């Protein structure tokens, strides 16, 4: 069993609306061993695809994305949720993302300076639920004229349609853990 799966079973807490709280090892306090394992799995799956950049969204994707980027020897870029006052409108790519956990829609952005048509991009995030965050990141890559090589997810809630939406766009999705159900407060994994 993967260490991430073990930690989910030991410390994950199921909240209403099918939200899994993993604050003790991934979303608030971060267990470096979990991140190291995630990084190795992503590298094993995506490592040979000539990736030039790893893209995530602040803040929970940053830790795994940074380690993968380090292993690949490329920069890690994260989409920002707040508008930096130093960035003019014409200098950024912007997309709108609906947050599953906060139930708000907001703009996320990256500076045009750091993403170009030459980039082959690996997108990383902590969770995949309805796919809005990942689809927003795919949109930012498209706006830059770059290529999304794939999406790497730490915890996929496979009972929600995120993977379906991404695959319908031809995106290769790889998840470390795939959760089949959070019913009755119990975590059940796919392929258990
Ligand atoms: P999506 O955009 O795929 O609907 O949701 C993914 C985003 O929402 C992730 O970036 C993550 O921050 C958050 N998220 C979605 N579901 C969960 C969950 O069950 N637990 C936690 N902690 N975050 C979630």
Element (H, E) at 34: helix 32-46
- For ligand 1, atom 22: residue with the closest CA: 21
Q: What is the pLDDT of residues 85-107, one digit of tens each?
A: 787 888 999 999 999 888 899 99
Whether residue 142 has pLDDT greater than 80: yes
Give the atom of ligand 1 at the shortest distance from the alpha carbon of 128.
Answer: 3
Q: What is the pLDDT of residues 22-67, one digit of tens each?
A: 999 999 999 999 999 999 999 999 999 999 999 999 999 999 999 9
Is 21 within any annotated ligand binding site? no
Whether residue 84 has pLDDT greater than 80: no
Residue 135 to residues 98, 142, 153, 189: CA-CA distances in angstroms?
A: 10, 10, 13, 24
Report the pLDDT value the prediction gives residue 192, as an integer from 0 to 100.
64
Q: Using a 6 Å cutoff on CB, does residue 130 contact ligand 1? A: yes
SS3 28: coil
- Segments making up each domain of the chain, as ranges: 3-83+90-189
Of residues 89 and 127, the one with the higher pLDDT is: 127
CATH architecture designation of domain 3-83+90-189: 3-Layer(aba) Sandwich (3.40)
pLDDT bucket at 9, cuts 50 / 70 / 90: very high
Whether residue 20 has pLDDT greater than 80: yes
Report the pLDDT value the prediction gives residue 61, as an integer from 0 to 100.
96
How many angstroms is it from 125 CA to the middle of ligand 1?
A: 9
CB atoms within 10 A of CB 93: 18
Percent above pLDDT 90 for the chain: 91
Report the pLDDT value the prediction gives residue 82, as an integer from 0 to 100.
83
């Amino acid at each position: 069993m993967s260490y991430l799966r073990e930690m989910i079973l030991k410390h994950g807490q199921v909240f209403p609306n099918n939200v899994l709280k993993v604050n003790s090892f991934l979303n608030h306090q971060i267990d470096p061993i979990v991140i190291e394992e995630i990084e190795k799995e992503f590298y094993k799956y995506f490592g040979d695809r000539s990736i030039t950049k790893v893209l995530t969204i602040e803040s929970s994707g940053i830790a795994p994305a940074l380690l993968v980027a380090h292993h690949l020897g490329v920069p890690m870029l994260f989409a920002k949720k707040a508008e930096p006052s130093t960035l003019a409108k014409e200098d950024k790519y912007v997309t709108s993302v609906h947050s599953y956990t906060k139930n708000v829609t907001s703009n996320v952005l990256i500076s045009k300076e750091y993403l170009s048509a030459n980039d082959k991009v690996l997108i990383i995030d902590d969770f995949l639920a309805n796919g809005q965050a990942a689809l927003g990141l795919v949109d930012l890559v498209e706006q830059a004229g770059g290529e999304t090589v794939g999406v790497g997810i730490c915890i996929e809630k496979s009972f929600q349609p995120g993977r379906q939406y991404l695959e319908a766009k031809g995106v290769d999705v790889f998840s470390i853990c795939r959760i089949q159900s959070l019913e009755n407060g119990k975590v059940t994994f796919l392929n258990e």
